[in-house]
Amino acid sequence: MVTMNFDEAESFCAGMTEAEDEAARELLERISGKWALAVLQVLGEARGPLRFSRVLERTGPVSQKVLTQTLRMLEREGFVTRTLYPEVPPRVEYELTELGLGLLREILPLWRWIVGKLPEIERNRQDKASDKAAAA
Amino acid sequence: MVTMNFDEAESFCAGMTEAEDEAARELLERISGKWALAVLQVLGEARGPLRFSRVLERTGPVSQKVLTQTLRMLEREGFVTRTLYPEVPPRVEYELTELGLGLLREILPLWRWIVGKLPEIERNRQDKASDKAAAA
């Protein structure tokens, strides 16, 4: 039995409307997609603007198309800026906004917690799998 | 230009292997799916075991099938326990584990930050939409 004090239990949705709750969940879903967080990390670590090709290089095995979609989504939400320099050939640079940096800061403790708990979660999965095998 | 101190920038992936980073990202993606977080909230607010029908009632407009899949995933990861009471008819109860409560606690500050920033994010979206309209 999990013990939880009353205030904490009450506070999960305190002061949130249904619409806010829904909008927050949708946003969390978008930024938790396969590449969004990786791109935010790359831009955070760069501590300055990066060209598309650099972002692509540092993000990992993502296709150009998916990276473009991810950057557009992040730009639309206001987490990233895109600046076009009309040179020949044109140069496009991406940079984290203050909002994007704030998001990264808020995600970091959760991220660390998850990584710390991975061994426990992995054990849980294996126990479940062996329970299943024993029952079969 | 966003200012970020060196330590903070370095710390995003400090001490994480590629495999951990990948596993953490996959986990975050699963728990950020449409209903997982809502179910965790419902079980957290219940402060005790809940029957399937109660979880269904309190989670919102989710189908039985999707709720079952969500609960199975949460059970597999170790965030929720499922207890079967061999009565007639059989009773099944779900409860948050310590790990599940820990996850909820870690997500809460991020959740609140997102809700607090929703008006700013909404303004960004509208600005982008009107830029587009002006350019067309």
Q: Taking residues A21-35, what's their average pLDDT?
A: 81
**Global pTM value:** 0.77
Q: What is the pLDDT of residue B71?
A: 96
Per-residue pLDDT of A55-67, as tens digits, reads 999 988 899 999 9
B117 near A CB under 8 A? yes
Per-residue pLDDT of B61-88, as tens digits, reads 899 999 999 999 999 999 999 999 999 9
Residue A53 neighbours by CB under 8 Å, 6+ apart: none
Residues 6-35 of A with CB under 8 A from B: 6, 8-13, 16, 20-21, 23-25, 27-29, 32-34
pLDDT at B1 over 60: no
* Residue B90 burial by Cβ neighbours in a 10 Å radius (0-12, 13-18, 19+): exposed
Confidence band, pLDDT 50/70/90 cuts, at residue B14: low
ipTM: 0.77
Assess contact for A24 and B115: CB atoms under 8 A: yes
How close is the nearest chain B Cα to the Cα of A133, in Å? 14
* Residue A43 burial by Cβ neighbours in a 10 Å radius (0-12, 13-18, 19+): buried
Q: What is the pLDDT of residue A112?
A: 86
How close is the nearest chain A Cα to the Cα of B44, in Å? 6
- Domains and their CATH numbers in chain B: 16-135 (1.10.10.10)
CB contacts < 8 A, A to B, total 152
B135 near A CB under 8 A? no
